[in-house]
Structure 1
Amino acid sequence: MRILITGSQGQVGHCLVEQLRGNEQVTILACDRHQLDITDRTAVLNKVSEFKPTVIINAAAYTAVDGAESDRDLAYAINQKGAKYLADAAEQQGAALLHISTDYVFAGDKEGAYHEQDCPESQSVYGASKLAGEQAIQTACSKHIIIRTAWVFGEHGGNFVKTMLRLASQRDALSIVDDQVCGPTYAGDLAKALIYIAQCIDAGNDVAYGVYHFAGEPHVSWCEFASTIFTRAHEQGVLKTTPTVTPISTAEYPTPATRPANSRLNTSKIMTHFSIPASDWQHALGNLIRYQD
């Protein structure tokens, strides 16, 4: 199997490279943004033509949610056009494209968990650009797997867990939003899921292409997530003391981009088709010393 990985220095991309390293049955070409600018159609087509991957995993994205509100052109260039160029290249090569999308494609006003067939209605430029990327892929590439995920964290790169550990070491009290709910997703679990799907495709299994949800359980608010991080960090000796946590509303912490209040993603489809369980984010907090920079 030959796998082209974009966004190799991001949270998920880094995990993909780490997990595939040493696998003699897989030849990988891992590219960061300096090695492959996915907004350059010619560069994408040439790279794919030269490497001839059987699977492309697109872990590259513009993920600055608030920044996208004022940098719309770049967000769309990466999240829509870049996705389309990879889809075009995959179709020409006969390769499968595995693409990471987001819970932000939804408005966040549904009462229960979102299913894949629920109608997207993004409330932010970031979410709209990611949805446009999904649509471009669905049009251009017959063999595609789009995985929507949420609240990704891991040992590599910037994320909520690292931010909370840093702030907790500096402050005695923190105010954290308590009316946005989701299932945090461990980057290592997402990478593992992507690799398994790629292996199914390479093995010639009967794969149901389309959109899937993969995220963590149980569902929690940002405030609950933070409190769990602090408790586990204190138990592991990463924090000497835990800060006092005050729940606040989204209205009390205004941001340029609107966040979905409900980002729960139903993950039963990926379990049914690939036997991939939801991300175990609580288990992923078992060695928090690894999250310290």
Structure 2
Amino acid sequence: MGGLSLLVPGGSGQLGRELAALAGESEFEVRAPGSAELDVTETGAVVEAVAELAARAAESGRSPVVVNAAAYTAVDAAESDEERAFAVNADGPRVLAAVCSSRRLPLVHVSTDYVFSGDGDRPYLPEDALGPRSAYGRTKAAGEDAVLGSGARAWIVRSGWVYGAHGRNFVKTIVGLEGERDELSVVDDQIGGPTWTADLAAGLVELAGMIAGGRGPERRILHCTGAGQASWFDLARAVFTELGADPERVKPCGTEEFPRPAPRPGYSVLSAEPWREAGLTPLRSWREALTAFFAKHADQLRATV
């Protein structure tokens, strides 16, 4: 996947850091600034960063692509801080897309399964109607609209239930709770597709390479998640298994037993068919990925959680 020069806003997040780490093992180069270094809502800063990307790519002979991993992801906090969530999740992508359009540089924008209502009973296709039920989902949907309406050569990649070695996520939370509690109750009536950031990062780089090579998919919205589906209960039990703990210690419960400020989609599995049809490599099963994640990071997880 050589010949790429990536700018990854949101570089201090779990996905951004995974993309930067992947660059160290591959033939592409990346600049992944965190929000303190690059605020995507500040037009001047974005103009400067994209201009630098273009200059760096021209000097190295690589193809420039912006992969936007910047996001306000505190789902519950967004319910009382929707203005800030909108700034990062909608205004930021609007600024990035406008600048990319003016520079004629391609943009890959990462979005979420939370843009759907969660009332479906089959994997969501990219063209299915949106119906976000939370402030987070609404702001991410607005970001998609901003990107698609910008005139930029842009693609949106939705993912969901993302976990990795960096930042806060469900898998790391369960690792910590396993050592603290004899039993753990986890909801079994929310269904999605768990996705390891390393697999998602690899998929995004493959897509960026396809775009840079002039073979960008005709579909401008794609889904990229771990194959298969699971409930949070299923995922928690699998984490216990990977830790060598008894999965029977994890007990099922309903969403109503754990009320949260932000409503969650009941069913948010995303269809990978359009990703496959575009010639992109489907992600492996979520269960296989979880085993690989623990094989790589088990010691780190035990030490830091």
Q: Structure 2 length normalisation: TM-score?
A: 0.90
1:143 partnered with 2:157: no
Gaps of 5+ in 1: none
Measured in 1, the distance between the counterparts of 2:108 and 2:51 equals 17
CA distance in 1, matches of 2:129, 2:170: 28
1:75 alignment counterpart: 85
Partner of 2:18: 15
- Give 1:120 shift: 0.2
**Matches for 1:1-293 after TM superposition, within 5 Å:** 1-21=4-24, 23-24=26-27, 26-52=28-54, 54-234=64-244, 239=245, 244-286=249-291, 287=295, 289=298, 290-292=300-302, 293=304
Of residues 152-161 and 67-76 in structure 1, the stretch that sits farther from structure 2 once superposed is 152-161
1:169-225 per-residue CA deviation (whole Å, 9 max, x = no partner) reads 110011101100011011001000010111112222253250001111221110011
Are 1:214 and 1:279, in contact at CA under 8 Å, matched by a contact in 2? no
1:229: how far off? 1.0
* 8 Å Cα contact 1:174/1:243 also seen in 2: no
- RMSD between superposed Cα atoms in Å: 1.5
Secondary structure at the aligned position of 1:229 is classed as helix
The residue type equivalent to 2:282 in the other structure is P
Letter in 1 for 2:227: E
Structure 2 spans left out of the alignment, 5+ residues: 58-63
Structure 2 counterpart of 1:177, one-letter code: V
The one-letter code sitting in structure 1 at the alignment partner of 2:130 is P
CA distance in 2, matches of 1:75, 1:206: 30
Query: What is the rounded CA distance, in whole Å, between the counterparts of 1:136 and 1:230 in structure 2?
Result: 41
Aligned to 2:60: none
Q: Are 1:97 and 1:141, in contact at CA under 8 Å, matched by a contact in 2?
A: no
3-state secondary structure, aligned to 2:238: helix
Assess if the C-alpha contact under 8 Å between 2:193 and 2:270 holds in 1: yes
Secondary structure of 2:107's aligned partner: strand
**How much has 1:243 moved relative to structure 2?**
6.4
Taking every aligned residue pair, what percent have the same amino acid on both sides? 38
Distance apart, 1:46 and its partner CA: 2.1
- CA deviations on 1:231-261 (whole Å, 9 max, x unpaired) are 1210xxxx5x556222111111100001000
Q: Distance in 2 between matches of 1:258 and 1:206?
A: 35
The structure 1 segments of at least 4 consecutive aligned residues displaced by more than 6 Å after TM superposition are none
TM-score, normalised via structure 1 length: 0.93
The residue type equivalent to 1:281 in the other structure is W
Q: Is the 8 A contact 1:172 1:242 kept in 2?
A: no
Q: What amino acid maps onto 1:196 in structure 2? A: E
* Greater alpha carbon shift after TM alignment, 3-12 vs 198-207: 198-207
Check the 8 A contact 1:183/1:216 in 2, yes or no: yes
Q: How many residues align?
A: 287
Q: Which amino acid aligns with 2:11?
A: S
What is the Cα deviation at residue 67 of structure 1?
A: 0.3
Asked if the contact 2:203–2:280 (Cα under 8 Å) also holds between the matched residues in 1, the reply is no
3-state SS of paired residue (1:276): coil
Deviation for aligned residue 1:270: 0.4
